[in-house]
Each structure stands twice: as C-alpha cells, then as structure tokens.
Structure 1
Amino acid sequence: MHTKILIIDDEEIMRLTLGEGLSDLGYDTETAADGSDAIVKLKQFEPDVILLDMKLKSESGLEVAKKIKQTDEYVEIIIMTAYADINTAIEAIKLGATDYIKKPLDLDEIQVNISRAIASQSMKKKLKLYEEKEMKAEDTFISKDPIMEDIKKRMTILAENDSVTALIGGETGTGKEVVANYIHKNGARKDFLMLSVNCAAIPKQLLESELFGFEKNAFSGANSRKKGLLEMAQGGTLFLDELGEMPLDIQSKMLRFLETRKFNRIGGLEEIEVDIRIIAATNKNLEEAIAKKEFRADLYYRLNVVPIHLPPLRERKVDLLELSKYFLEIYNIKFKKNFKGFTSNAFERMLSYQWPGNIRELKNIIERIVILNDLDYIDVKLLPNEVQNQSSKESGSAILKAENVFIEEGFSLEEQVADLEKYYISKALELSKDNFSATSKLLGISRHALNRRMKKYYEDRALS
C-alpha cells in the first residue's frame, strides 16, 4: 500500500506540479485548495502525510493545521513556507506539525521529509499502543486458565454489586491490585476515583491521618485541615493493600467505619458520612494472624463478604504462556524490538520454575530480556540462571520435547499442559497409593489446588 499525500495549496499550478512529481515517485496524491476542502479530503482520502502551504488566501495555515490535528491526531503535517515566514512555521510545529520545507521546493528534499514524517507517525502509533496496553494491563485480568473460572465469576459479581466489600488474598505479585482495578472499572463506581494505600509502607501515625484525615491543630505540625482517603474517595473505591499489616487500633476504627460508613477526622468532633466501596488485599494468612492476636476477627469477617484467593503463577500453567506473550508484546513496542516468541526449551524451563515472585517476577524478567537483547526468539540462554537451572521434565506426551521447536500458530498450550498435569497427577497418585495429602506434597501444590485438578480430570475421584 502506497503512502498517501494530501497537498494543500491555493495555487493550482503548485498543486498539479507537486502532485505529478510525488506520483512519479510512487506516492498516492490528492489535492485541496483551502481548509474546508482539506478537511473533506482528510476524511475521505485518509492521508498519511499532508503538505500544507502557510500562505493560503482564504485563511491562515496555522488555523488549518489546528483543524487537521483536531480531526486526525496521527496524520503528519509538513509545512511549506517562504524563508521570511519561518517563525510562523515554527508556531505550526508547536501545534503538531512535523517539519517544514522552505520554498522554492526541492522534490528530493520533500521525499526525505516525507520519509521522516512516516517514521515519526509509526513511532507515535506504537507509543500510543504501548500506553493503551499498559493502561489496559491495570484494568484487565488476563487469564485463560480453567482454574481461574470461579475467580472471574466472583470478579463479575463484585463489579455488578458496587456496595459489597471484597477481600483479595494471594502471594505477592499474583495480581491483587489488578483484580481490584478490574472490579472498580467494570462497576457503577467507575466514573469516580479509586484510591490506594499500602498499609505496610506507611508508619502507623501517618497511616491513620492518611485514611481519616485531621483537623487543624489536632497534633504538632497540623497547621491546616487535611481530608483523608476515606473522604477523598467519595463515590468511588478505596483499596487497602497489605491489609494484614494494619495496626490493631486502626483496625478498630476501620471496623467502625465499615459498620456505620461514618468517621471522625483526627482531632475532630464532626461525624463525616461517605459512600465508598472498600476492597482489601493481603498476602498474609489472616486466620493465622487472628490466632496470634495480630488481626481482629470481627474486621476479617466484615471484609470477607466475597473472598477471592488468587493462586500463584506456578499453579496457572496456561496463564504463564498468555502473560508471557502479553508482556513480550508490550515490551517489543516500548523498546522497539521484534521478538516473535519463545523457544520450546525456554518455555519448558519456565513451566518447571516455581515463580516465587509470581506475575511481577515474570514481567520483570521479560522486560529485562527485551531491553538487553535483539533476537527473534527468547531461548533458554536468555533466561535468568534460576530459571535456566530447572531440570527438564519428562511428560509422557509430545509437549515441548523437540530441541528446536518454536511455539507457533496452531500450538495448543491448554491441551499440552492438561496432558502434562494429568500425567504427573496420575504418577503421584500411584506413588502415594491415592493418599491426597501425600499426593499434594509430591506435586508441590496445596491440597485445595490438587482437588481443583482432580475435579477437572478425575471427577469421580475428587474430594467432595
């Protein structure tokens, strides 16, 4: 497909001459005599680059450039200007034009400028795509693993019921904040703020004032009134990350708020009522914390209305590929690389690795690989030593056996991983003589995770 060039000039001879010259060079060309005609042609012709004369008889080239950018942010504008009008051309560039060419025009120079403009356009589109994907990553829960079906249903239910509190559990890096973002952005509160506070990262004294705010002179240094996050999130959502680290006295105040939806600023007498949703997350076992008297049981039960527990990445084999592909795509765009995927050997080691840092660790590793290398595929040698050193596993199926097979179109990870999981579960059951506790220990997964897989592969043998 040829590059499309729209020429805007009020001199007919210039339009015809320039149009013929660029057509001879292989460009598709269209012309316009003024701004109104240009906007019509912009919508119909959809040019990649516009050559715009600054001195139009009917209107200012600056005004035309502004209207063009309002209509199509990606089209590149090259200003054609006389030497005496350079300052005006510079003003046009501030409005979004890419470059300018001084008259009299030289066709070779114009071609160079067009090539630069096309490169600039491509880069802007890639950057925009990357930014959209980065934003999407915050709000979209990426998962195709069957074991996540119940979690996705709960997320949907929570999004539809915007007054229900939620407690999200799981290891560090499993995507708890992503889940919270998804629930907020897909619910009735999406047009209001979602504010976050990390209860582990803020000292106790500051955490209380951060949440509840304070009145002027409430304590030394309180020189003015400050609104807390509970108040600032009015109408929206407050996300309490690392809830298990919240001090007990603040837990007490939070419990009262959840029961009444009212609170007092520190040092204040006025009760403030707000309508917000609370979503909390923790990587701690709160039931154990309750037994140790480190967490209030009543707050736990008040928050744990619709619990979500995110399994670690090592138990989500299908998602390992989905997330790997996703991160590779966005970092290809960000760092201008062209990785096509992963070799089978690399992915075999990734499947075997335990991923203690979960999704966050996977994301960081792929980002580092893309930054430091410029190859077609990610092979074993590009992986960190801790991932490389995972021993190869014999699966009893065709999965990832060939030394130089790439994961390409037509490859079904779900079928391959299902085959692999089923094989190892059957072997572990055989070795443990059908003892579920011993089987889960042999496989390095929880009894709950084993039971999910038993329901999937051996429904008649699963625990009730």
Structure 2
Amino acid sequence: MNKKVLIIDDEEIIRLSLEEGLLDFHYDVATAKDGKEAIHKVYSFRPDVILLDMKLKNENGLDIAKNIKNIDDYAEIIIMTAYADIKTAITAIKLGAIDYLKKPLDLEEINLSISKAIKNQSMKKKLKLYQEKEAKEHYEFIGEHPIMQDTLKKMDILAKNDSVTVLIRGETGTGKEIVSSYIHQNSSRKDSLMLSVNCAAIPSQLLESELFGFEKNAFTGANSSKKGLLELADGGTLFLDELGEIPLDIQTKLLRFLETKNFKRIGGLESIEVNLRIIGATNKNLEEAIIKKEFREDLYYRLNVVPIVIPPLRERGSDILKIAKFFLNIYANRFRKNFVGFSEKAKQQLLNYHWPGNVRELKNVIERMVILNDTKILDIQHLPIELRNTISKNPFTTPNDLIAEGFSLEKNISEIEKSYIKKALDQANGNHTNAAKLLGISRFALKRRLEKYFE
C-alpha cells in the first residue's frame, strides 16, 4: 500500500508540480489550497505525511499545523517556506513538524524528507504497539487437541487474509482474546496497533464515544475533540469483546461502518475513512438474541463472515495438562519458586474437573496453588476443595480413591447434570426443545433444571 502525501499550498503551479513529481516516487497524493480544504482532506484522505506551506493567503501555516495535529497526531508535517528563519522553524518543530524546507524546492530533497517522516511515523506506531503489549499479559496459544488444531488452521488462513471480519464464539474464559491476538500478530497488520474494548464493561452512553470519538462541544463536558478506537486502530485491528452486548442504536452505526469503512465522530460533519480489521467475540447466543430483537440480523451476517468456535476446556481434555504446566512455569518464575510438576492423582483430578470457567479458571487455580505452596510436586491435597471433590467425568465409574473429606454426592451429581445441560444447549444453539431431545428429557424437565441451576 502506497504512503499518502497531502500538499497544502495556495499556489496552483506548486501544487501541480509537486503532485506530478511525488506520483513518480509512487506516493498517493492529494492537494489542498487552504486550511478549510486541508482539514477536510485530513479527515477523508488520512495522509501519512503533509507538505504545508507556511504562508497561505490569509492564513498562518502554524495554525493549520496545530489543527491537523489535534485531528491526527500520527500525521507527519513538513513545513515549506520561502521565508526561512530560526524562530519560525523552532515554533514549527514545537507544534509537531518533523522538517523545514526552504523554497525553491528540490524533489529529491523532498523525497528524502518524506522518507524520514515515514520512518519516524513507523517508529512512533511501533513504540505505541510495544507499550500496548507491555501493558498486557501475553499467553501462548496451546491446543494439540484435534478440534484446536482445526481451529489453528483456520486462524492461520484468516491471518493471511487481513481484511476479513472475524467472529469468535465460545464460553467465557475459553481464550477468545488470545485467538484474536494470534490472528493479528500473524497478519500483515502486526506492526500496527491491536486495540481491545469490552463492550459489556462500558456503559452504553459512553460506548459510542469510545468507538467513534467526538468533536469539541458535541455534548456537555466535551471540552476538546477525541479520537475513537476505530480511528486509533487505523491500519491495525480492533477487538470487540462481548459484542453481543452492544446496544441496538450503536449496532446500526457499527453496521454502517463495516459496509462503508468510514464514519463520523459524534458531533462531527466530516466522514473519516480508516483501514482496519474488526474481530468480534461473544459468549452470547446471537441467534436467540436476533429472535428476541436484541441483536440486528444484518449485523450478525456482516460480522459472521468467518466464524471461529472455541470449544470449552472440558471438551479438549488432552490440552488441560499442557495448559496447566504452562501456567505453572509462568507463576513459578514470577514468584521465584521451584516446581517440578503435578502428581499423577493431581493430574487425574485436573482432567476430571468440568472447568466451568475454562482456561481462565485453570489459570487462576494454578496461580493460587503456586502462591500457597512450596513443595516441588503439587499433589491432590494442594488442589482447591472444589477440585478435590470432583468425581470422574464418566458418571458410570466409581472412583473410590478420589473421595476426600468434605465430599458431597449431591453437589457432584448436580455438577454432572449442569455440565450435560450446558453441552446440550451448546449443541442445540440454545434451542430448549432440541436440547431436551438430546438429553432424553421433556422440555418441562429441562426448564425445571435450568431454573434450579442457572437462575
């Protein structure tokens, strides 16, 4: 993708000659004759580098530079002037200009200055990306189970096709954000930002401004303009976690953006075009939400271009011990403890437990065990009580050696029922009638159990 250069000069001959010359250097070029047209082009064209004449007819280039930086801080500004003086140059640099060229202009010199500006812009984005990465704890994608290997193949295909919208589905704690991070980091967008937002954690009245940004005075308290996540993630990836919780009015705006790739800030008149990939994730049954008029059907089909379904941890048993060992190594290093691993009985219990909280719950369990114990081998007595009392996943076995103090038969039978009900509902995509048929019970019996266990 060619880099974009915007030329701002009130002399048409200069604009045309610079445009023709820069096209030969394989830049995408746009021009503007004054500040008003320049601001419009900054919004619509999204330039990487701006060549700005210091003296326009009735305008000061420094004022225009300041306005541009308020809109897009990543845009690199190169000042052009026939009246070079040190004081003006210093002022321009303070306002964010990266270079200062004296007229008459030399194309080779301009190209060199633009190349320097582009490198500087890339460094700024990489620094921001590094800061984002450092702020987050990174976990590897671990999945040797056949289901996960199939998922990994799909993830690799999606990474290569970096314009395709992705929808990741799965229970809470299955690792949807790790999947999204894997896709981003293995795509051509990896050197740009990946930003995340939990749509369920932000009040609906704030979510719109968080996504789309706003202009100064757009509403009470908007004392300055603000870029939204769509704008900040330009060139990269935006991860919308729990997107099933997005309010209907914002769903409409999101759908329009996915169709056109442009949007307006709240209170704004200019359309802003960005190039980014949307990856959404949800544990909600969107088909059921559509029936209930809680989710737009057209948005669902627009998001569901390539779905990825992550199975719950209990259905990929061969991965449980590998993931547990991975977290054991992480927390042993963090807390400076020396652990060899798990005893055979502890391993069996980890495999027997149904893991309602999935990978997130497993991570928390291992962290707790590392904090509370110093033995090299973690045994069954070091497990949390809810894991020590777990019976085999197979309800027809009688694991006499696993019964520990505080064991509750009623609780364990309830857990087995809950596990099968969840699995049946997943298979039936939330349809209660079909789930009841899978379980071999009546719909009324299923309803009673749902009320008992989940309300």
> TM-score, normalised to structure 1's length?
0.57
Separation in 2 of the partners of 1:308 and 1:383? 32
1:331 is matched with 331
1:84 is matched with none
1:206 is matched with 206
Q: How does 1:346-385 map to 2 (within 5 A)?
A: 346-385=346-385
- Unaligned regions of 5+ residues in structure 1, if any? 1-132, 404-439, 451-464
2:387 is matched with 387
1:230 is matched with 230
1:287 is matched with 287
- Report the residue type matching 1:351 in the other structure: L
1:178 is matched with 178
Say if 1:179 and 1:446 are closer, same or farther in 2 by CA, change over 3 A: same
- Report the residue type matching 2:325 in the other structure: K
Say if 1:139 and 1:165 are closer, same or farther in 2 by CA, change over 3 A: farther
1:106 is matched with none
Say if 1:263 and 1:447 are closer, same or farther in 2 by CA, change over 3 A: closer
- Partner of 1:138: helix, strand, or coil? coil
Separation in 1 of the partners of 2:420 and 2:268? 57
Q: How does 1:98-177 map to 2 (within 5 A)?
A: 138=138, 140-177=140-177
1:7 is matched with none
Say if 1:343 and 1:193 are closer, same or farther in 2 by CA, change over 3 A: same
- Report the residue type matching 1:161 in the other structure: N
1:341 is matched with 341
- Partner of 2:298: helix, strand, or coil? helix
Question: Post-superposition shift, 1:141?
Answer: 1.2
Question: Post-superposition shift, 1:337?
Answer: 1.1
1:198 touches 1:241 (CA, 8 Å); kept in 2? yes
1:190 touches 1:236 (CA, 8 Å); kept in 2? yes
Separation in 2 of the partners of 1:158 and 1:305? 11
1:289 touches 1:295 (CA, 8 Å); kept in 2? yes
Between the aligned residues of both structures, percent identity stands at 65
1:273 is matched with 273
Aligned-pair Cα RMSD in Å: 2.9
- Partner of 1:197: helix, strand, or coil? strand
Question: Post-superposition shift, 1:278?
Answer: 0.2
Separation in 1 of the partners of 2:357 and 2:202? 22
1:137 touches 1:178 (CA, 8 Å); kept in 2? no
Q: Deviations over 1:112-136 (max 9, x none)?
A: xxxxxxxxxxxxxxxxxxxxx9999
Separation in 2 of the partners of 1:354 and 1:347? 13
1:141 touches 1:182 (CA, 8 Å); kept in 2? yes
1:314 is matched with 314
Separation in 1 of the partners of 2:146 and 2:186? 22
> TM-score, normalised to structure 2's length?
0.58
Separation in 1 of the partners of 2:206 and 2:276? 21
Alignment length, in residue pairs?
Answer: 281
Separation in 1 of the partners of 2:176 and 2:332? 25
Separation in 2 of the partners of 1:384 and 1:224? 51
1:315 touches 1:445 (CA, 8 Å); kept in 2? no
- Report the residue type matching 2:348 in the other structure: E
Q: Deviations over 1:158-210 (max 9, x none)?
A: 10000000000001100000000000000000000000111001111110000
1:218 touches 1:267 (CA, 8 Å); kept in 2? yes
Question: Post-superposition shift, 1:402?
Answer: 9.6
Separation in 2 of the partners of 1:205 and 1:393? 44
Say if 1:371 and 1:179 are closer, same or farther in 2 by CA, change over 3 A: same
Q: Deviations over 1:382-419 (max 9, x none)?
A: 1111111112578999xx9999xxxxxxxxxxxxxxxx
Separation in 1 of the partners of 2:307 and 2:352? 29
1:102 is matched with none
